Every structure is written in C-alpha cells, then in structure tokens.
Amino acid sequence: MTEEARLREQICTLAKSMFDRGLTHGSTGNISARTFDGGLLVSPTGTSFGRLDPARLSRFDAAGRQVGGDAPTKEMPLHSAFYDTRNQTGAVVHLHSCYAVVWSMLDDPDEDDFLPPLTPYAAMQLGRVKLLPFFRPGDPAMGKAVRGLAGKRSAVMLANHGPVVAGKDVEAACNAIEELEATARLALLTRGLGPRLLTEAQIRDVVTSFNVEWEA
C-alpha cells in the first residue's frame, strides 16, 4: 500500500470513528490532510463522516488545483486559511459537535479564550481557542477571519456552527478537536457550580513543560 493510500484509509477511519461516537452527524463536518507531495486530500461536499470512500476523496496538487476525486467541501476557504498561515499544519478537521456548539451560544465564553481552564489537556493540544462570530455556512469570510489571526491559533470555534482545528497530522488534529468537545462538555456540566479552575501558574507550567504555542 502506498503512503497516499494509507493516508486515505486513515482519514476515512478516523472520520467514521468520530461519526460513530456522535461527534458530528448527517453530512456535517469536513476533514483534510496534507499529502507527501504537498497536495491535499479533502472530504467531498455533502458526504457523511460515517461513509467516506477513500477513492473518492477530493485530491489537490501542491499548486492548489483539483486533480481527482469528487467536488470538495464548501468549507475549503477554512482549510486553506490554516494551511496558508500555519506552515506546521498537516491536517484540518471541522465538526458540528454538540457541546462545543452549545457552549458557543451562551454568554460565558471569552472570545479570545473560548474554553475555561478546567484540565491541562485542552491547553496541551489546542492552545487558546478563538471564538469567531457566526458566518453563513460556506461563506468565504470564515477563511478571511482565520487568516486575520495570522497563524497564531491552531483552533477556532465558529459561533452557532462548530469547531475547526489544525494539527501536525490527521491523527493529532482529530485528537485535539475531540479534546475541545470534551472540554466544552465539562464546561457545561460544571456551569453554575463554581468549579475549581487551573490557576495561571498551573497553566503556565503546562504551557512551558509541553512547549505549547500560547498566544496572548
């Protein structure tokens, strides 16, 4: 099996795992990964994470031209924005995960720091998450908003829509977006209960120990 064939299988396996566990539903969500030659594999538009076909993934060459597969997700501007502004990006995942979306609808979140510091793991895998305003699905302005962050964030939350996370590879991106959803769930479960948050010193220790990109 070639390197690209393995990557195609991995994308579909991880997507199905997230679908099967209810992290996205129907034909929502999209995923992409950088290929060995600098191109991209992207989930096609209107497809379900539970039924992606490795052979039908949209294939782009290093110049950004589609050279194979079905038509790509309409959220390509989001994906392109991360690849273009963060050289270390090897994959991008976007979900319509329930708890993160609910948390984005409330008054609690800080736009510059969407997730409360409840555990060290969100800080380790995501850094600080930027809450972006609502955009119409497929609106190219979403990509412009990500570009406006100048590569300083690996994760954003689209209000009333869903999270988008970039990672060094497809497994890392999927792990990180699952951590985002788990932290949003903890935030909702503890809302109004006065949970004990990590202190600034504890967060700084985590950030330093794990060499986390922590944009102020």
CATH number for position 62? 3.40.225.10
215 has catalytic annotation: no
Give the burial class of 140: count Cβ atoms within 10 A of its Cβ; 0-12 exposed, 13-18 middle, 19 or more buried. Answer: middle
Q: Is residue 29 part of a domain?
A: yes
Q: Mean pLDDT lowest for which of 15-19, 123-127, 198-202, 210-214? A: 210-214
**Mean residue pLDDT across the chain:** 96
Give residue 71's pLDDT: 98
Phi, psi (deg, nearest 5) at residue 156: -135, 160
Tell whether the model's pLDDT for residue 36 goes beyond 80: yes
Distance separating alpha carbons of residues 131 and 60, to the nearest angstrom? 29
Tell whether the model's pLDDT for residue 171 goes beyond 90: yes
75 has catalytic annotation: yes
Q: Cα-atom radius of gyration of the chain, to the nearest Å?
A: 17
Number of domains in the chain: 1
Query: Among residues 3, 4, 75, 181, which one is catalytic?
Result: 75
**Domain hosting residue 122, numbered range:** 3-195
Q: Is residue 93 part of a domain?
A: yes
Query: Among residues 4, 121, 171, 213, which one is catalytic?
Result: 121
Give residue 216's pLDDT: 58
Q: What is the pLDDT of residues 134-152, one digit of tens each?
A: 999 999 999 999 999 999 9
Q: Is residue 208 part of a domain?
A: no
Region 177-204 average pLDDT: 97
